[in-house]
Amino acid sequence: MQIDHPFHVDERQRTAETGEEDHVRDLIEQVLFTNPGERVNRPDFGAGLDQLVFGPNSPEMAATVQAIAQGALQQWLADRLRVEAVEIVADGATLRITVQYTLLRNLERRRAAFQRSFGL
């Protein structure tokens, strides 16, 4: 068992835990939405996708964001998963990310979807 993300207590008033598959999904979310420089001991950790939602929406920007996300996932989670595909859709103030991956532990294919909306 792993500590669940975001950190919270469960109904027993203990640190909430999660299984391996959900933990990997939590790790993907942390890599995608952590800004480089945000972690003191790992200043290069993260893809910083939260910062990109306010950029210009274009095919070139979408391709750049996709490459950044895929590269960050491969760099930080290569020991746990193999990234198959990353799809990024920016719709106004909403960023939608879909990651298709294979867990290396059991070669199970998975898909994780994330969405962030930003108020102006």
pLDDT, tens digit (0-9, with 9 covering 90-100), for 2-55: 776 666 677 888 777 767 778 889 899 999 989 998 888 999 999 988 776 556
What is the CATH architecture of 2-117? Roll (3.10)
Query: Please, which residues have CB within 8 angstroms of residue 47's CB and are 6 or more apart in sequence?
Result: 31, 32, 33, 34, 68, 69, 71, 72, 73
Radius of gyration of the chain (CA): 15
Which pTM does this prediction carry?
0.79
Q: Write the CB contacts of 7 (distance below 8 Å, at least 6 apart in sequence).
A: 15, 16
Q: How confident is the model at residue 57 (pLDDT cuts 50, 70, 90)?
A: low
Give the other-Cβ count within 10 Å of 25's Cβ: 20
